[in-house]
Structure 1
Amino acid sequence: MDTTATIIFIIAAFSLGIIIILQRDKIPASMRRGFAIASIVFIAFAFFLIVYSLTTMGS
């Protein structure tokens, strides 16, 4: 598994979540729900990658 790409994805997913939370007033209402769902999916996958990398670290 390429750790550099994984780390970049994790940082990008959490950054997107922070940006969506901080800038929620400036996002149009029609796009807000889609951005929120996409952020949740990306952050959940980032958590999965963190847990997966921790469980496969010894092997």
Structure 2
Amino acid sequence: MDMSATTIIFIIAAFSLGLVVIMQRNNIPPKLRRGLAIASIAFIAFAFFLIVYSLATMGS
């Protein structure tokens, strides 16, 4: 797999995790909820960074 396919898969997975955490927040135990929310925020923030970085380096 090349780097762009890996990046796209990570971005899709990060946003999917965030969506699952938001949709299933009532079914997640309270002790696990905070950790999953923090991990989701970190993954989504890194996914946004990868999107911006790929757009910035697209022309070079």
TM-score after normalising by structure 2? 0.96
Large movers: runs of 4+ above 4 Å = none
Deviation track 1:27-57 (CA, whole Å, cap 9, x = no partner) reads 0001000000000000000000000000000
Partner of 1:56: 57
Task: Name the count of aligned residue pairs.
Answer: 59
Structure 1: where are the runs of 5+ without partners? none
Q: Distance in 2 between matches of 1:2 and 1:23?
A: 31
- Give, in angstroms, the shift of residue 24 of structure 1: 0.3
TM-score after normalising by structure 1? 0.98
- Give, in angstroms, the shift of residue 11 of structure 1: 0.1
Q: Report the aligned-residue RMSD.
A: 0.9
Equivalent positions of 1:1-59 (< 5 A) are 2-59=3-60
Structure 2: where are the runs of 5+ without partners? none
